[in-house]
Amino acid sequence: MSSTPTYAQLRSVGSYRPSHVLTNETVAAHLDVNETWLHRRTGIRTRRVADDRETLAYMGAQAAVTATRRAGASTDTVDCLIAASMTHQDHGASLARSIADLLPEPPRAALDVNAACAGFCVALELARCLIQGHTFNTVLVVGSERMRDIITDDDRATAPVFADGAGAVLLHGAPEPGIGSPAWGSDPARRHLITRPDPRQADGELSPLQMQGPQVYRWVIDHLPDVATTALERAGVDVHDLAAFIPHQSNDRIITALSVALALPPHVTVVRDITHSGNTAAASIPMAMDTLLQTRPDLAGKLALLLGYGAGMTFAAQVVQLP
């Protein structure tokens, strides 16, 4: 085992967005509401929907290849792939293994994480520990979701919000830390707020996700500013040191309320990828990070606060140095 201190840093990011765009006009027609109501309630104007070819593994692999290429690396340098998803239905097979096997040079180690919409942040911490523990030197973390598979078009709580896509980051060992210790956990007393009580119904069809939106909103605003503040403290920084805030893209009103609660100064960019990507659960933070760095490449190397939260009322936050 190496005695040289090794830290984990983000090296690159990539994303995959399905080609089919689902507009508010189409969603509103199913719900018998108007587009203005939809946008005011969610902040979303369009969202992406995967077709049959765009499987979780396919989208995840596309995002992973993009992240690897942007790092100037090849997939044969990757030691491990961690996949985060809440929509992987085949529990007898690893999504991470399926993604890895689509890469040009598959890594031998692959494992799955399911912490719902906090899954990416949880997987990122696992990758950090594997690198800092000298188990691996290079790790891909992938979030991939087909949320439209587990909702119904006539549910006003979920249909306007959820979407499909994938995002990935490449981490590697480095002499300086690039990822702060997380604040993470869950609130089991509130797990009923977002749930799938019977994953498979009597007719064999998958039962849809159920969400109590107003109660989720209150839980997030009541509890997660403290989680974010703890993550800042563990990283040894405060909000004035940040260049960006990249929360889970759950709802634009929640993003705004969190930004206000954290008293973010004007120079901190609050990422709102939700406007055109919708809520992609475990994929939302890396997809939003990619959007940020494509539009603001000057923020590379600066600090960002990540905050994920979702079903099971799981949550995780950490400060990262942007790749």
pLDDT in tens, 217-245: 999 999 999 999 999 999 999 999 999 99
| Contact call for residues 273 and 296 (beta carbons, < 8 A) | no
| pLDDT per residue as tens digits for the range 114-126 | 999 999 999 999 9
Q: Report the pLDDT value the prediction gives residue 199, as an integer from 0 to 100.
A: 57
The pair phi, psi for residue 93, each rounded to 5°, is -135, 145
C-alpha radius of gyration, the chain, whole number = 18
| Count, residues in the chain | 323
The residue type at 146? R
CATH number assigned to the domain covering 7-174: 3.40.47.10
Q: Which residues are catalytic?
A: 117, 248, 279
pLDDT on residue 281: 98
Whether residue 181 is predicted with pLDDT greater than 60 in this model: the reply is yes
Cα–Cα distance, 155 to 257 (Å, whole number): 24
- Return the H-helix or E-strand segment holding 51: none
Give the position of tokens 């399911």: 114
CATH fit for domain 183-321, picks 3.30.365.10, 2.160.10.10, 3.40.47.10, 3.40.1360.10:
3.40.47.10
Task: Put the strands of the sheet holding 164-174 in their side by side order.
Answer: 7-16, 164-174, 138-146, 80-84, 109-113
Exposed e or buried b per residue across 68-82, where buried means at least 16 C-beta atoms within 10 angstroms of its C-beta:
bebbebebeebbbbb
Tens of pLDDT along 39-73? Answer: 998 999 999 999 999 999 999 999 999 999 999 99
User: What three-state secondary structure class fits 260?
Assistant: helix
pLDDT of residue 32: 86
The pLDDT-based confidence of 1 (bands split at 50, 70, 90) is very low
Q: Provide the residue ranges of all domains of the chain, joining segments of one domain with +.
A: 7-174, 183-321
